[in-house]
Structure 1
Amino acid sequence: MWIVELTFTPAPERLAARPAHRDRLTALHAAGAVRAAGPLADDSGALIILDVPGRAGADEILAADPYFRTPGVEVRSVREWSPFLR
C-alpha cells in the first residue's frame, strides 16, 4: 500500500478541479485501487491510501489525474505503508 500526502493552498484552481478529482478517486475506490481518501480536518491537505502493486502503480495514478498538477495542490510525499491490520 501507498500513502500519498498532499498539501493545499487557497488557489481557486484547486477548488474548481476538485469535483472531477473526487469522481476519479470514487471510481478507483470501486476498483479497489483507493482504500481511503479525504482532506485533513483543517483543509490544509489530504491523505490518499492506495492499494496498488509497486511505486510505479502509485505514480501511474498520480500521473493520470490532472488534479495533482493543479495550482494549489502539492504532492508532499508518496510513501510505502505496511499495515498489519486491514
Structure 2
Amino acid sequence: MWMIELGFTPTPQRLAARPAHRSRLVDLHHQGVVRMAGPLADDSGAVIIVAAPDRAAVDALLAADPYFSTAGVDLLGIREWHPFVR
C-alpha cells in the first residue's frame, strides 16, 4: 500500500479539475486500486491510499491523472505504508 499526500491552494484550475479527478478515483476504487481517498477537514490537502506493487506503479497512476499537474495541487509526498488493520 502507498500513501499519497497532497497540498492544495484554492486556484480556479484545481477546482475545475476536481470533478474529473474524483470520478477517476471512484473508478480506481471499484477496481480495488484506490482503497481510500479524501480531502483533509480544512481542505488544505488530501490523502489517497492505493494498493500498488511498487513505486513505479504509483508514479504511473499519478501520471495518468492530469489533476496531479494542475495548478494548486502540490504532491507533498508518497510513502509506502504497511497497515496491520484493514
TM-score normalised over the length of structure 1: 0.98
Letter of the structure 2 residue corresponding to residue 54 of structure 1: D
> Which residue of 1 is the match for residue 17 of structure 2?
17
Letter of the structure 2 residue corresponding to residue 83 of structure 1: P
> Which residue of 2 is the match for residue 54 of structure 1?
54
> Which residue of 2 is the match for residue 2 of structure 1?
2
> Which residue of 1 is the match for residue 75 of structure 2?
75
CA displacement at 1:10 relative to structure 2 = 1.0
Per-residue CA distance 1:24-47 (angstroms, 9 max, x = gap): 000000000000000000000000
Per-residue CA distance 1:18-75 (angstroms, 9 max, x = gap): 0000000000000000000000000000000001111111111000000000000001
Unaligned runs of 5+ in 2: none
Unaligned runs of 5+ in 1: none
> Which residue of 1 is the match for residue 39 of structure 2?
39
Three-state SS of the structure 2 residue aligned to 1:48 is strand
Three-state SS of the structure 1 residue aligned to 2:61 is helix
CA distance in 2, matches of 1:57, 1:26: 18
CA distance in 2, matches of 1:50, 1:75: 15
